[in-house]
């Protein structure tokens, strides 16, 4: 019998995790042809999530818990789950707040059994979110796709991965990961299904605005060095502008037409100053990324005392 792991990263989900798990388990029970284990990855929850899950595990033998020592972020939690699921024949990654509908699981499994290595669930609508966030996400997607030539429009982290995809993903050496982009970059045979993102009982997303912005920047930086070339292009542009303005200033000087030019000097200083700071910022982002990777710190640390893996196939 083939084995399937369902990996669910959770962070402060005490208000609904048990109800959500019951829904997921009821769908999982219909997939009788597979040996299915659910691996919850607690990403350093500070509420009662872990206690609630531990209580539930005693009633459900196919449920397992992997606790991280602190909040490492959703990407690290997914990576931790996949690292522990390497021996399974396939794994499905899904959110714990039911915004990734469990009703899609049978269809995902069917497509995998047909031979697809990756089955990804794409959002046909984005569910309830502010207009501003919708616009930002669209702009980010446009920028990411045009710079990296990788399509991620409407993609989500709700994916089924075959064993060979899990192995390839875990072999990638980087610490900062962008799950959606990397799975696309690996380019195994992929099937897509679509879903509408349902509303959640959760009042707000657990992603803080600044974390989302940092995540967006690091995902672009980890896939393309184009912004660094932009710095060179900006250097070329300012050089051209300075040649033109310098030429005009010289001609004015020679023909005795030179005037005070105080405003021009201020404007030029501001322009060159901002181009320099912008360029330094771009270079700084790449150096920071290299510095973080160079330290070779692990992407996550497991709290073995709190975890409950039982007979989970590692």
List contacts with ligand UDP (CB under 6 A): 9-11, 13, 43, 71, 73-74, 77, 95-97, 99, 205-207
Of residues 98 through 157, those in contact with Mg ion by CB under 5 A are 99
Q: What is the Cα Rg of the chain in Å?
A: 25
C-alpha to C-alpha distance for 311 and 307, rounded to whole angstroms: 12
* Residue among 301, 309, 312, 311 nearest 53 (CA): 309
* Residue 181 binding target from ligand UDP, Mg ion, none, CB below 5 to 8 Å by type: none
Shortest reach from residue 94's CB to Mg ion, in Å: 11
End-to-end CA distance of the chain: 17
Shortest reach from residue 198's CB to ligand UDP, in Å: 11
Shortest reach from residue 77's CB to ligand UDP, in Å: 4
Location of structure tokens 């799950």 = 179
Comparison of 77 and 118: residue with beta carbon closer to ligand UDP = 77
Comparison of 49 and 222: residue with beta carbon closer to ligand UDP = 49
Q: Which two tokens stand for residue 120?
A: 């990804």
* Residue 117 binding target from Mg ion, ligand UDP, none, CB below 5 to 8 Å by type: none
* Residue 28 binding target from Mg ion, ligand UDP, none, CB below 5 to 8 Å by type: none
* Residue 162 binding target from Mg ion, ligand UDP, none, CB below 5 to 8 Å by type: none
The CB density around residue 257, as the number of other CB atoms within 10 Å, is 8
Comparison of 74 and 155: residue with beta carbon closer to ligand UDP = 74
Q: What angle do CA 182, 186, 189 make, to 5 degrees?
A: 125
Comparison of 116 and 177: residue with beta carbon closer to ligand UDP = 177
Shortest reach from residue 112's CB to ligand UDP, in Å: 22
Shortest reach from residue 99's CB to Mg ion, in Å: 4
- In the chain, the DSSP E strands lie at 3-10, 35-42, 63-67, 90-93, 118-125, 159-162, 190-196
Comparison of 11 and 169: residue with beta carbon closer to ligand UDP = 11
* Residue among 172, 1, 202, 195 nearest 75 (CA): 172
Contact pattern for Mg ion over residues 88 through 107, marking x by CB under 5 A: ---------x-x--------
Residue nearest to ligand UDP (CB): 205
Comparison of 13 and 117: residue with beta carbon closer to ligand UDP = 13
Shortest reach from residue 38's CB to Mg ion, in Å: 18
Strands 90-93, 159-162: pairing is antiparallel
The alpha carbon dihedral of 189, 121, 300, 147 has a sign of positive
Comparison of 198 and 298: residue with beta carbon closer to Mg ion = 198
C-alpha to C-alpha distance for 242 and 267, rounded to whole angstroms: 12
DSSP-assigned states of every residue in 16-32: THHHHHHHHHHHHTT-T
Q: Which residues bind Mg ion (CB under 5 A)?
A: 97, 99
């Amino acid at each position: 019998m083939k084995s399937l792991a369902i990996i669910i990263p959770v962070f402060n989900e005490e208000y609904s995790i048990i109800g959500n798990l019951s829904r997921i388990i009821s769908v999982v029970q219909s997939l009788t042809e597979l040996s299915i284990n659910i691996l919850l990855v607690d990403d350093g929850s500070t509420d009662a999530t872990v206690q609630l899950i531990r209580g539930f595990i005693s009633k459900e033998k196919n449920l397992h818990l992997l606790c991280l020592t602190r909040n490492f972020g959703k990407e690290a939690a997914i990576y931790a789950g996949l690292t522990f699921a390497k021996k399974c024949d396939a794994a499905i990654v899904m959110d714990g707040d039911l915004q990734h509908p469990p009703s899609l699981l049978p269809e995902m499994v069917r497509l995998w059994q047909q031979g697809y290595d990756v089955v990804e669930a794409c959002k046909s609508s984005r569910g309830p979110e502010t207009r501003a966030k919708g616009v930002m996400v669209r702009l980010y997607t446009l920028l990411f796709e045009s710079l990296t030539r990788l399509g991620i429009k409407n993609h989500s982290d709700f994916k089924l991965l075959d064993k060979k995809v899990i192995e390839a993903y875990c072999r990638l050496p980087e610490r900062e990961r962008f799950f959606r982009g990397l799975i696309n970059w690996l380019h195994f045979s992929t099937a897509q299904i679509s879903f509408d993102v349902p509303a959640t009982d959760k009042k707000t997303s657990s992603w803080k605005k600044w974390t989302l912005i940092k995540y967006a920047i690091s995902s672009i930086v980890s896939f393309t060095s184009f912004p660094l070339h932009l710095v060179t292009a900006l250097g070329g542009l300012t050089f051209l502008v300075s040649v033109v303005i310098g030429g005009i200033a010289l001609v004015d000087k020679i023909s005795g037409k030179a005037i005070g030019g105080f405003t021009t000097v201020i404007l030029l200083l501001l322009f060159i100053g901002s181009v320099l700071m912008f360029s330094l910022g771009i270079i700084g982002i790449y150096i920071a990324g290299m510095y973080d990777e160079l330290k070779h710190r692990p992407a996550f640390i497991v709290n073995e005392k709190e975890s409950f893996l039982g007979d989970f196939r590692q």
